[in-house]
Structure formats: C-alpha cells, structure tokens
Amino acid sequence: MLTKEQYEVLSKKAIEYLDKAHIAITDEEKANIEVAEYELGCPEKIGLELVVYVNTERCCAKELVLLPHQTCPEHRHPEINGCTGKEETFRCRYGKVYLYVPGEPAEKIQAKIPEGFEDCFTCMHEIVLNPGEQYTIMPDTFHWFQAGEEGAVVSEFSTKSQDEYDIYTDKRIDPAGKRHV
C-alpha cells in the first residue's frame, strides 16, 4: 500500500512532468492522479502515475507519467469472454521510453531491469520512443516499458481498459488490486 506521503510525492512529481510536456489538465484531474504501485512496495522502481481521460465500452485514453527509470511491469491483455483483448498505442510526449515486446532480443537492452525482479521481465525486443514517436501493441501481446533518465510522459490510446483481467509475468501482482496500462 502507498502511504499518503508517497502518494503526495509521486502525484506532485507527475504534475511537474505533465507541465514539462505542456499537457494541460484541470485542478480536479490533478487532485485525482492515480499512482499504480502494484503492491510491490517500490513505486519509484515499479509503478507509474496516470490521468485517465476516458474509458468507455469502446475506447480509452490516458496520460502516463514515468519518473526516471520507473517501470511498468510486463503484462498482456487477454481475450475476455470471447472479446478480443485490449489494443493500445503509446505515444511519447516527453523524455524517452524503452518499450519491450516479443521478438528478436536486443543485444543489450537500454532499460535497467529493477534489481530483484530479473525473472519478471521476459520480452527483450527493444523499441525506443522519443517525443512524437508511437507504437501499437496488439491484443494479448506481452509488453513492459521504462522511462529513460529524464523520465517520460506517454499518451495511451486504446480499446476499453479492464485492468482486472490483465496477466502479469510477476505472479505477485494481483490485477484485481491495481490500476495499470
């Protein structure tokens, strides 16, 4: 569980990053920034900050903020009751994002795998997103990502988000307990 102090620090930092990316959000949105920490107890290593703009039956849009080297853990969005899983597009707005999907592994990845979590990351095909660059992840495809040393702001456009069905490589993560991307 995040403490109130941790939440305050992380959400304040997220607001600063959104400002650096010139993304305007309302005071109400600022007060309701979500912090995903996956109940792993190290939100600055494995976690992210989110502003959810919309999540309807058909579409979802979010802003994701990652502090320097903060990591979204490896997961996939499976088919649910015969409905295709979530498809998502990540567009970098600020900083740099290292995104990993199945495929030819990089000789040496540029992200730093969080210490103690080496078994929880299996995809090593590297995609680097700089501001203005984007990548689409098809349904049911494992992915994870990490910000570079300046942190990152990423816009996410997707089909409906149903976090509770997501499948994580790290089995300690309870999808029903957390918000994620």
Which lies closer to Zn ion via its Cβ, residue 48 or residue 181? 181
Which lies closer to Zn ion via its Cβ, residue 117 or residue 168? 168
Pick the closest to residue 98 from 114, 112, 88 (CA basis): 112
Which lies closer to Zn ion via its Cβ, residue 46 or residue 181? 181
Pick the closest to residue 169 from 57, 38, 25, 48 (CA basis): 38
As a residue count, the chain comes to 181
Q: Is 173 in the site for Zn ion (CB under 5 A)?
A: no
- Gap between the Cα atoms of 178 and 173, Å rounded: 8
Q: Is 66 in the site for Zn ion (CB under 5 A)?
A: no
How far apart are CB 138 and Zn ion at their closest, in Å? 11
In the shown chain, the binding pattern of residues 122 to 161 toward Zn ion, with x for contact by CB under 5 A and - for none, equals ----------------------------------------
- Gap between the Cα atoms of 8 and 120, Å rounded: 28
How far apart are CB 77 and Zn ion at their closest, in Å? 6
- Stretch touching Zn ion by CB under 5 A, among 24-32, 46-54, 91-99, 173-181: 173-181
Q: Is 181 in the site for Zn ion (CB under 5 A)?
A: yes
Which lies closer to Zn ion via its Cβ, residue 7 or residue 135? 135
Contact by Cβ (8 Å): 17, 50? no
In the complex, which residue's CB is closest to Zn ion? 181
Pick the closest to residue 146 from 127, 159, 165 (CA basis): 127
Q: How far is CA 37 from CA 43, 87, 130, 164, 173, in A?
A: 5, 22, 25, 15, 10
Which lies closer to Zn ion via its Cβ, residue 6 or residue 141? 141
For Zn ion, the binding residues (CB under 5 A) are 181
